[in-house]
Amino acid sequence: MEWLGRGRMRNSKILFMIFFVGLFLIASFVLVGAALPSITSVSLISTNVSSNETDQNLTSITVATDGDGDNITLAYTWYKTNSSGVETLNATSLITNGLVSYWPLNNDTLDYWGANDGSCSSCAIQNKTSYAVEGSYSFNRSNKLEIFGSDNFDLVDNLSMSLWVNVDEGDTFNNNFILSKEGASASYQLGLDSENKPYLSLGNWSVNNWVKHNNAVPSNSDTTSTDGRVPRGTSGKGDDLHIYIPNVILDNGTYKMWYSGHDGTYVRVYYATSPDGLTWTKYNNAIPSDSNGASTDGRVPQGTSGKGDDKHAFFPSVIKDNGTYKMWYGGHDGSYYRIYYATSPDGLTWTKYNNVAQGASNTVSTDGRIGLGTSGRGDDRHVYRPSVIKDNGTYQMWYSGHDGTYLRTYHATSPDGLTWTKTNNVIPSDSDTTGTDGRVPQGTSGKGDYKHAYNPTVIKDGEMYRMWYSGSDNTYTRQYQATSPDGLTWTKYNNAIPSDSNTAGTEGRMPQGTSGTGDDKHVLGSTVVKDGQGYKMWYSGHDDSYYRLYMAYINSTGIQSGASLSGWNHIAGTINDGNLSLYINGELNGSAAASVTKTGDTKNLTIGGHYGGELDEVMIFNKTLTPSEISQLYYGGFSGGHSLNSSQTSWNDTWKLGVSAADSGGWSSQFNSTFILIDDITSPAVTSNTPTNDTYTNDITQNLTVNITDAGSGSQNATLWAYWNNGTLFNSTAVTIAAQQALQSVGFPITFVDGVFIWFYEVFDQAGNAGYSENQTLTIDATPPVPTFVSPTPANDTGSSSQVTLNVSILEANLANVTLLYNGTNYTYINPSGNSTYFTSAGSGLWYFNTTNQSELVEGEGYSYELYVVDLAGNENVSETRIVKGNSAPTLVALTYTPSSNESIDPETTISINATLFDSEENFDVAILYYKNSTATWDEANSTTMTIDTINATHDYVSANFTTETYEDGMSFRIWSNDTGSQEDNLTTYNIYNYWDCTWNVSTNDLGSTGGFNVDKEIGQVIINNSGDFNYTNSNCNLAFSFTYEES
């Protein structure tokens, strides 16, 4: 066990303390004049269930009193006794070995271990509902805790830092220095960046603190320069007066710069390159010819007379976009500055897009240009010095706008870099803090940017937009910084005028140099490149005579976490010989080799500088904490120190908690809780694996597997159960498993028969808890389906003249789908149970499948078809292959009937009909003779089946008789025939007449209504008419006429 073993000597108090460290006794004497805190009870309970078990959060209730009313700080140490009886320290909120200082930050800023109390007059005590251990302190970026005992925190040996941080997620400041000591040669920082990602660094990690490389005036040169500087050219060159407002990109390892060169009359764009950003080589600083189109050697000249850039072409902003270099630059026509556009395939040969002056607009400009705003707007006089980035497919530009009196920064966007839309060019209110709609306003009176805020350069750094801009106080110009989460709402970092310096700039600012240096009057128009973890800036420095270019940088050695924090988290950092290590929540997050300078300095230690959020339990050690010790600090404070996270507890272990209390007088002795046994009442977690639920398979041998975990006592044994779906046991098998807590996959093969089964595992852990997997349904089907063609499916090798109806019976309870292969084409039909169009269930595993082919059959052609059937288990079967032929109806070859002439046909005459029929498919079936009188329809006709006498395979002889009507009339007959392919036809219709041969009709006007005479009459006008068979000649009818006259 471990006891806290160091006291504080304050107010002439004396304390005699006895502590046990392991099995050793330590005595410590401290002056005490007042009562120390006293712990009267520590009770330990589980917070998850009434019975304590594995993976339980243990928590304590501590009762402590202090007679003199001081603030009390508690330290918690957890001990575990395992099943073998060995007691080990597992978690502690405070480690004393190597501890230099400990600031609990509960209700004061005292160092409760050393004597390095902090001073923080404006720090705020945080409500104790938000803390890591016993309370915390809140910081708002402007307050910080200064520790004046500087020698105690020098990096003269190994060093470790530990603290708890609760991030204000809305505070996305550039860098939050949580714990830092910034000396000339022994600096270190533990903090968060703008995305709340932890870092550990040697030196200053901050992107806000610049180091000038060399601000001495360089000699004029037309070729090379050193120390990041670019000098003026020699007499007669295009940059012999001033060289300023550069733009630099890092392109495939080469730094490329386009800068503004002034020859005393005109300003143009020139080009230089560098392998490292330090040694620059000018490409060609000779004055180029005026041009409205192409230019060479990286230069962009003035345009010709009357163009928008006929006086100056300067202040470039260049990006490389999909292999094309794109430049937006300022152009002056003798009256106004506007922004123009050019492109290049290589950064050397530039082509202007359109250098005609753009008309005034507060909204849209075209051809890559930005025009002036209308009268009264913030950019109605000049627009120039653009800074362009391409951000998620959108081009964003920040530019300088002049209203005739002041310069401010404004914003525009474009989908293609050509058509630009200003966001808001209304003049913003002065502000020392924020700007909206992409604008950066002037500061208030007395600030470094109260006259102008212009010449922006913007980079996107992760999710943060960073801007460095030129701020003028109406006398001097310096560089300042602002940041934004979206490129629209900008927050100034610090616009107070910085002190002159030849070496460093702080809080994002770049100051003037001291007298006699190249930047002792103005520092403006910078460009920034992020290179790895470092940043490089090239800026315009003025010495009261000339502008030249100078360089500054930010380099630091450190580790950056890739994870953004939220809520309470534990951060620890260790520095030893040649190595830095960063820990987050007890786990190593990253390591880096470093050259450690072990020297002292006089800088104070700072807690909470530029940090927004809560801090708690800040500790510094003069040793390198081990990973185990950092884990103990994390778990010892994870739930406020008085609780233990569930991941630390194990079944059958016993736990106790030791608590010590301290006030301004020192530490009390440790009070230990009673032991608590970790039980296990949670069942093993058993998850079915394979085969999955509702599996259909034709493989009768199945390996039934599950995944088993038991975070408590560990799995002990398992039984596999398999039942028929009617509840009858099919098989039970004891399955061997590993006695462990970790995940294990278990399987056992069982040989089944056809049927439906339910299976599951029963698993017991070492504490006797049972866990069960889900009931899984398994269908075994090793029998293939049986398809059989049934009527009205055509018999094999028969014919049909129209669509073919196929009807199949399928014996299969688990039918999945049917595929009809018809004449070389597959037709698949699925989901029998939901497809009533094609499938009919007859029950007991019998299905009927019915379909019709979709094409007419061609006479004489053969069509093959067969049926593939698959069940849910994957069994397949195929029907017999049948052929149906394209079919035609029988035809009439010859027909005779007797008597064959109408002269011979009388009423009640028997007509004998004989015919020869032809059927090319040799499947003649039947012939029927239909006959009717003249007034009947064919539907009313009489019929008789004809006698068939086969002549050969294709010809048939048919015969039948019928008798004519008893009365004189005309009659018709015809033969209807069909074949076995259901093709039919009504053959030729024949007409006959059944009239008597001679039928005489006598009419006279004299004889009256009688046919004889009983009186003497005169016969006259006698008409004799033959109304018999008109086909029968009158010469064949004999008429005997006699005249008898009898007188009465």
For residue 242, what is the enclosing H or E element? Answer: strand 242-251
pLDDT of residue 895: 93
Rounded to whole angstroms, the Cα distance separating 893 from 979 reads: 16
Q: In the predicted model, is pLDDT for residue 835 greater than 80?
A: no
Buried b (16+ CB within 10 A) or exposed e, 485-504: eebbbbbbbbbebbebbbeb
Provide the pLDDT confidence category of residue 1029 given band limits of 50, 70 and 90: low
Q: How many whole angstroms separate alpha carbon 261 and alpha carbon 458?
A: 22
- Portion of the chain with pLDDT greater than 70, in percent: 86
Which pLDDT does position 81 carry in this prediction? 85
The rounded percent of the chain whose pLDDT value lies above 90 is 51
The answer, yes or no, to whether residue 17 has pLDDT greater than 50, is: no
**In the predicted model, is pLDDT for residue 832 greater than 70?**
yes
Residue of higher predicted confidence among 309 and 860 = 309
Burial 136-145 (b: 16+ CB within 10 A, else e): bbbbeeebbb
Nearest residue to 920 via CA among 953, 948, 883:
953
pLDDT for position 5: 38
Report CA torsion sign: 909, 914, 917, 923.
Answer: positive
**What is the mean pLDDT of the segment spanning 944-968?**
89
Are 926 and 912 in the same domain?
yes
495 pLDDT more than 50: yes
Range of the domain at 501: 212-555
Q: Is residue 523 part of a domain?
A: yes
DSSP for 709-751, written as a single string = E-SSS-EEEEEEEEEETTS-EEEEEEE---S-SS-EEEEEEEE
Banded model confidence at residue 1034, pLDDT cuts 50, 70, 90: very low
Indicate whether 445 and 325 sit together in one domain.
yes
Spatial separation of the C-alpha atoms in residues 380 and 411, rounded to whole Å: 14
The rounded mean pLDDT for the chain is 85
- DSSP H helices, 615-719, are 627-637
Say yes or no: 764 and 807 in one domain: no
Task: Provide the total of helices (H) and of strands (E) in the chain, helices listed first.
Answer: 1, 80
In the structure, what pLDDT confidence band is assigned to residue 530 with cuts at 50, 70 and 90?
confident
| Residue 14 pLDDT class (50, 70, 90 cuts) | very low
**Cα–Cα dist 38/951, whole Å:** 129
Alpha carbon distance 993, 948 (integer Å): 27
| The predicted structure's pLDDT at residue 150 | 65
Q: Which of 720-724, 901-905, 942-946 has the highest mean pLDDT?
A: 720-724
> SS3 for 356-419, per residue?
CCCCCCCCEECCCCECCCCCCCCCCCEEEEEEEEEECCEEEEEEEEECCCCEEEEEEEECCCCC
What confidence score (pLDDT) does residue 1 get?
31
Q: Are 250 and 300 in contact (CB under 8 A)?
A: no
The model's confidence at residue 844, banded by pLDDT at 50, 70 and 90, is confident
CA distance 1 to 656: 11
Look at the pTM and tell me if it is higher than 0.85: no
Residue 281 sits in the same domain as residue 340:
yes
Residue 68 located in a structural domain: no
Query: In this predicted model, what pLDDT tens digit does every residue of 82-134 receive, in sequence order?
Result: 767 788 888 899 999 999 999 998 878 889 998 888 887 667 766 666 777 88
pLDDT tens profile 201-256: 876 556 677 999 999 999 999 999 999 999 999 999 999 999 999 999 999 999 99
On whether both 797 and 736 belong to a single domain, the answer is no
Task: Check: CB of residue 821 under 8 Å from CB of residue 868.
Answer: yes
**Of 555, 582, 605, which one is at a domain's C-terminal end?**
555
Statement: residue 1019 has pLDDT above 70:
no
The DSSP 8-state label assigned to residue 154 in this structure reads -
Q: Same domain for 736 and 815?
A: no
- Residue 485 per-residue DSSP state: S
Q: Based on the fold, state whether residues 505 and 394 are members of the same structural domain.
A: yes
pLDDT band at 897 (very low <50, low <70, confident <90, very high): very high
CATH of residue 457 = 2.115.10.20
Residue 915 lies inside a defined structural domain of this protein: yes
Alpha-carbon Rg for the chain in angstroms: 54
- Per-residue model confidence (pLDDT) at position 84: 75
Please tell me the predicted confidence (pLDDT) of residue 28: 32
pLDDT at 1014: 44
Please indicate, yes or no, whether residues 870 and 754 belong to a single structural domain of this protein: no
Q: What are phi and psi of 902, to 5 degrees?
A: -65, -25
Q: Are residues 277 and 422 in the same domain?
A: yes
Answer yes or no: is 439 within a domain. yes
- Mean pLDDT lowest among 53-62, 357-366, 922-931: 53-62
Q: 540 vs 425, 519, 695, 971, CA distance in Å? A: 27, 8, 75, 124
> Using one digit for the tens of pLDDT, what is the confidence trace for 152-183?
787 766 889 999 998 875 555 555 678 877 65
If you average pLDDT over residues 506-521, what whole number do you get?
A: 95
Between the CA of residue 634 and those of 461, 570, 645, 766, 814, what are the distances in Å? Answer: 31, 6, 10, 31, 59
Would residue 185 count as lying in a domain?
no
Strands 210-212 and 534-542: what pairing? unpaired
Residue 789 to residue 804: CA distance in whole angstroms = 13
pLDDT at 11 over 60: no
**For 425-456, what is each residue's pLDDT tens digit?**
999 999 999 999 999 999 999 999 999 999 99
Distance between CA atoms of 1004 and 1012, rounded to whole angstroms?
A: 12
Q: What is the pLDDT of residues 712-757, one digit of tens each?
A: 788 999 999 999 999 999 999 999 999 998 999 999 999 999 999 9
When pLDDT is averaged across residues 546-550 and rounded to a whole number, the result is: 98
Stronger pLDDT, 325 or 919, i.e. the higher one = 325
| CATH number of the domain encompassing residue 705 | 2.60.40.650
**Of 886, 913, 934, which marks where a domain is finished?**
886
- Which CATH number does the domain housing residue 846 bear? 2.60.40.10
> Residue 878 pLDDT > 80, yes or no?
yes
* Total domains present in the chain: 5
For residue 837, being part of any structural domain is answered with yes
**pLDDT the model gives residue 52:** 45
Q: How far apart are CA 639 and CA 59, in angstroms?
A: 8
Q: Is residue 74 part of a domain?
A: no
**Region 845-857 average pLDDT:** 77
Task: Rank 523-527, 653-657, 839-843 by mean pLDDT and report only the highest.
Answer: 523-527
Residue with tokens 């992107």: 207
Task: Say if residue 369's pLDDT is above 90.
Answer: yes
Residue 309 has pLDDT above 60, yes or no: yes
Residue 647 confidence (pLDDT) above 90: no
Helix (H, G, I), strand (E, B) or coil at 627: helix
Domain shared by 870 and 911, yes or no: no
Q: Same domain, yes or no, for 936 and 829?
A: no
For the CA atoms of 55, 56, 58, 59, the dihedral, rounded to the nearest 10 degrees, stands at: 130
The reply to whether 2 falls in a domain is no
Summarised one tens digit per residue, pLDDT across range 36-50 is: 888 988 888 876 544
- Shared domain for 797 and 754, answered yes or no, is no
Q: Which of 731, 760, 780 is the last residue of a domain?
A: 780
